[in-house]
Structure formats: structure tokens, C-alpha cells
Amino acid sequence: MPTTPEDLKQLTMLGSKDAKGGTIELFPNHAANRLQIKLLCSEFTSLCPLTKQPDFAEIEIDYEPDKWVAETKSVKLFLESYREVGIFNEHLAVELAEKFMARVEPFEVTVAVRFKSRGGIAISTSYRLVGAGLIPPVNV
């Protein structure tokens, strides 16, 4: 099914030069079966909460939408809203996944953050959430 004018009614950031981040916009999922979507952001920055030094990362959001799909530009702007936020790398994965789950309500979402090396150590963290009504994964 092609994108319809009805699908576009809720989107305000796409095509806007003045759009600011914070809210992930949504459009209807037309897939009859489960759709798998992977969003990759290779230019993410946030701040170390203690030193206020910039941290650079790649963010991967892998999700299975239910009723809604996240509009890509709004996700980009949402991620950019962290530029001046002091947050530990490990907390970031949890926060992004929880905010994404709350807004988009997918069947499941996994957020992986891969921070560049600073002081000789790179760090990768991932956090997975399963939507309501689904059986959570078993950790082995």
C-alpha cells in the first residue's frame, strides 16, 4: 500500500528547516506482517556527566513496529537533543530504549550505543525492551 495523504497528517518536522528535536513523530504501519526496521546514527554526541567532555558514538535502533513507524528525521532530531546532555554511556542505551518504547510502542526495540575510544577504551552497550503482551526474552 502506498503512502497516503492521511499518513502524512501528523508529520510536522519532515521538510521543515526550523524543526527542533525532542519528539519522535509517527506514521501508520501498513505492513500486514511484522516489519523489522534498523536506524543507524553514525554521528551521535553527548557529554560526559562529570567532565563535560564530548563523547562520540554510533547509535543503532532496531525495532519491530506495531501500529506506528517512527519518522526518520524526527528520530535524528530526537538524538541531536542529547548534544548538551551529560549522561553515562550505559545510561544512554536504557534511556533511549525506554523513551522510544514509550512513544512508538513497538513490539520490541533494541538500542545499541557504540562509543568511540577515549583514554584508550571504547564501550558498547545495548538494551532490549519487549512490548506489552509479549513474552520477554530469556537471558542465558
Q: Which residues are catalytic?
A: 48, 55
Which residue is it, cell 537471558? 139
Amino acid identity at 32: A
Q: What share of the chain is helix, strand, coil (3-state, %, to 5)?
A: 20, 35, 45
Q: Which of 15, 2, 18, 112 is nearest to 59 (CA)?
A: 112
Q: Which of 66, 58, 125, 133 is nearest to 92 (CA)?
A: 125
